Structure 1
Amino acid sequence: MDDYPVHQIAEVIRHVGTSDRNFYDRYYFNAHPGAEATADSPFLIVGLGQYPNLGVVDGFAVLRRGEDHIVFRASKALGDDRMDVSAGPLRIEVLEGLHRLRVVLEPNPEQPGLSFDLTFTADVPASLEARHFHRQLERVTFDTQRFVQTGHWRGELVVDDEAIAVTPGVWHGNRDRSWGVRPVGEAEPPGRRADAAVTAQQNFFWIYSIMQFGGFSVIVIVQEDAHGRRIVEDATRVWADRNREPEWLGRPEHELTFRPGTREVTAARLTFHRPGREALTVECEPVVPHYLGVGTGYGLEQDWRHGMWQGELIVQGLRHKVPEIEDWMKLMCPVDNLSRFTLTEEGQKYSGTGLFEVAVIGPCESYGFTGYGDTAG
């Protein structure tokens, strides 16, 4: 890339514009059988990230099928070639920028229960989301940019020696690219952040929903602090017709229903308030909850975090039974729900499927949670 006129700062391409250790550059994909999905359907999530100031690249693939939670993960030293988008047997190929990508996990002895060769083709243009910026005690903890798009999949998924044909008329999903600053790597000394007055207000309330409705997709982001104040929000409709501009849907509000004794969402209603127009609503029905953080590096396991140095090349496989995942992990874990959606707009109803990612971690006045251990009554 250094032979192209694309430099943004007075450095070579592989050197980013900040020395912040937490700079990252990541891919995320999910794949599922769309409207045909049941509680036992396979739901695949794949991620791969580079961490230039930590010298690390890592990736994962995690499949939920029935009660099985199957994890592949790999980490290696980041070399000079930033176009090498691989971690062990996991690799990503950009076949056509912003439109078509290939995601491959070669058969491997570390995780014999999972492999795939899948190609994603977008059905809407890539949509640039609202920038995510947050400070804590004067330090920038989040400064990220992301684009997202929905599409369909083609290829083959192999689970426990069973080959599953992935066909574009059935298999759907979304993918995103994000980069910037967010907490990664080995945990830093907390300093003042460990003070009880500070930790009492720390939380993570997050809704990230990507919905597919045939001729359009809907993108929703809501992050709030413990008091319900918005940190970031987005509500955008992206049309499959590339001649139509993306449409702002208004301020999104949420009503979550939790399973008693947990913070797991069993139903949700999103309402979008547009000035001078009737409110638009979306009913969400979770079908397959996927515990994204278990085994994949999102901070639950202190020995495997995104960007953590593991060695020149480490490849591992894990397997859990979902009912045996510890309650505290589920409580502290973002859940990627494969969901059905019903959108109502001016008397018209539209049915769709997609992602409803939600985390309600720590204090949350909106739902009556005062600490990390509270659950729904």
Structure 2
Amino acid sequence: MEARLMFPAKEAGPILDADDPLGHQTAQRAARPAFADVEGGGIFTERFWYMGTNAPAGDIVFGAGLGYYPNRGVMDGYAGVTIEGVQYAFRGSRRLGAAPFETRIGPMTIDVVRSMRWHRIELAANDSALAMHLEYTAAFEPNDEGLDTLEKEGRLVSQVSRFVQMGHFTGWIEVNGRRHEFGSGNPLWGARDRSWGLRLESRTDESHPPVTRFRPLLFMWACAQFEQSAIHFFLKESAPGVVRFVVGDETFAVGSGTASRKVSRVEHDIEWSADPYSQFIAGGRFVLHFEDGTQKTMRMRALPGKFFLKAGLYGGYRGWFQGDDKGPLHMSQVRWDLADPETRRELRTLAEQPMEFDVDGRLGFGTIQGGVAAGYSKYHEVQHLPVM
């Protein structure tokens, strides 16, 4: 008998501790299982993502992530850092084999030590110039993005469930034999996200076409961490005020019992840097409107560091795309001088951009990923540069 696969519901249940480790079968939360159409064009993916920067300087930027592709029998990941204008990264891929839920790829390991509270990222000694041992400790309750669903002609082609959580990283990163320590007095301020579901990837590797063409679009994915709260939002617009997707909230300290406040609308006035290769934000402001009728103006100022996400194969890099089967175990390393024009052209725009945020004199730190595609009726000064 031919199986009939049903579309999942478009509303998510609450985030549970069981949502943190690997092992989802649909985009639904662990408490609400459902079937998904796996023939709609998406690749079922579970992903861990991490970033951190030294505050207030923002000249060291760490990034790491892991992708799990059960339908392809593959796991891949990366870990790296930008320091003194050079980005270093380890990348690896393995077949799942008999250890599908073991979050280890050669010398790289990501451990969910305690769901929603404590993770460990480790890159043991390897052939690259890089090693690290970082402990993530949650400072705030998760910021819930819910489900982002895309259907075309009645077919589900993408549906991703995601939450973001902000906190601090302590431990060390070693580059070329020099160890940089991050203790409780000088942690990396950062965030992590956890996502799963059917995922469509944008292809931006021009060495291996076709390359994804974008309709008029502005997207902003922001994480801002303050002493007393954390603000996250994801905005996609096809024109100023014409929203395709918006989700966000302000959350409070772990265990505080304070309910989160949802963002209902985001206004923006962005100042762009005069970078010749990438769309980078220099500063500007967001006006956040909350469902309870209040609003906050969040001003921002770019910090000097960058971590380009080609290190994690976002969009693909030189013919290697996320989820590709590279054999039983495949590892590589990169060292990118970010002052080199040819390197910058290849790395394009998508990057962790550390920011200093200011809300009524309260300073916070975090990151933005963002860009604007040609045809969007604002910010024409950067639309000749790659959106991602």
Both structures adopt the same fold (TM-score exceeding 0.5): yes
C-alpha contact (below 8 Å) 1:185/1:308 kept by paired residues: no
Return closer, same or farther for 1:84/1:274 CA change in 2, 3 Å cut-off. Answer: closer
RMSD: 3.1
1:129–1:107 distance in 2 versus 1, CA, 3 Å: same
2:167 to 143, 151, 166: 151
Task: Write out aligned runs for 1:46-125 (5 A).
Answer: 46-109=64-127, 111=128, 113-125=129-141
Instruction: Report whether the alignment pairs 1:205 with 2:218.
Output: yes
1:310-335: per-residue Cα shift (whole Å, max 9, x none)?
111101011111021535435x4312
CA contact (8 A) 2:271 2:281 kept: yes
Q: 2:51 aligns with which of 30, 40, 54?
A: 30
Matched, 1:269 2:285: yes
The residue aligned with 2:8 is none
Once the two structures are superposed, the pairs formed by residues 312-323 of structure 1 within 5 Å of their partners are 312-323=328-339
How many residues end up aligned between the 2 structures? 348
Gaps of 5+ in 1: 188-193
CA distance in 2, matches of 1:276, 1:155: 39
Distance 1:181 1:164 in 2: 38
Which residue number in structure 2 is paired with residue 251 of structure 1? 265
Determine the C-alpha separation between the residues in 1 that align with 2:44 and 2:24: 17
- In structure 2, the residue matched to 1:287 is 303
Which amino acid in the other structure matches residue 170 of structure 1?
N
1:308 and 2:324 equivalent? yes
Equivalences for residues 353-364 of structure 1 within 5 A:
353-364=365-376
Q: Which residue is 1:297 aligned to?
A: 313
The 1:329/1:142 distance shift into structure 2, 3 A limit, reads farther
The Cα offsets for residues 232-252 of structure 1, whole Å up to 9 and x where unpaired, read as 212311011531100124411
* Amino acid across the alignment from 2:77: G
- Letter aligned with residue 64 of structure 1: T
Q: Which amino acid aligns with 1:221?
A: F
1:89 Cα deviation from its structure 2 partner: 0.9
Task: Give the Cα separation in 2 of the matches to 1:106 and 1:363.
Answer: 46
For residue 191 of structure 1, what is the aligned residue in structure 2?
Answer: none
Residue 190 of structure 1 corresponds to which residue in structure 2?
Answer: none
Aligned to 1:214: 227
2:192 aligns with one of 164, 171, 175: 175
More off after superposition, 16-25 vs 250-259: 16-25
What is the rounded CA distance, in whole Å, between the counterparts of 2:200 and 2:135 in structure 1?
A: 30
Q: Distance in 2 between matches of 1:53 and 1:166?
A: 38
SS at match of 1:356: strand
Distance across 2 between alignment mates of 1:292 and 1:202: 23
Q: Supply the distance in 2 between the matched residues of 1:184 and 1:55 (Cα, whole angstroms).
A: 18
**Alpha carbons of structure 1 residues 278 and 175: separation in structure 2 relative to 1, 3 Å:** closer
TM-score, L = length of structure 1:
0.82
Amino acid at match of 1:230: V
Mark the runs of 5 or more structure 2 residues left unpaired by the alignment. Answer: 1-17, 205-209
Structure 1 residues 71 and 163: CA distance shift in structure 2, 3 A: same
- CA contact under 8 A between 2:38 and 2:198: conserved in structure 1? no
1:19 paired residue number: 38
Q: Is the 8 A contact 1:228 1:365 kept in 2?
A: no
Checking the alignment, whether the CA contact within 8 Å between 2:240 and 2:377 is kept in structure 1 is yes
Structure 1 pair 369/73, CA: closer, same or farther in 2 (3 Å)? Answer: same
- Show the counterpart of 2:14: none
User: Under a length normalisation based on structure 2, what TM-score does the superposition of the two structures give?
Assistant: 0.80
Q: Do the aligned residues in 1 keep the contact of 2:24 with 2:196 (CA within 8 Å)?
A: no
Residues 255 and 269 in structure 1, CA contact (< 8 A), matched pair in contact too: yes
- How far 1:173 sits from its partner (Å)? 1.1
Deviation (angstroms), 1:228: 5.9
Distance 1:370 1:124, change over 3 A: closer
CA distance in 2, matches of 1:96, 1:108: 27
Q: Could you tell me how far apart the structure 1 residues matched to 2:383 and 2:231 are? A: 32
Could you say what secondary structure the match of 1:84 adopts? coil
Q: Which secondary structure state, in structure 2, belongs to the residue aligned with residue 47 of structure 1?
A: strand
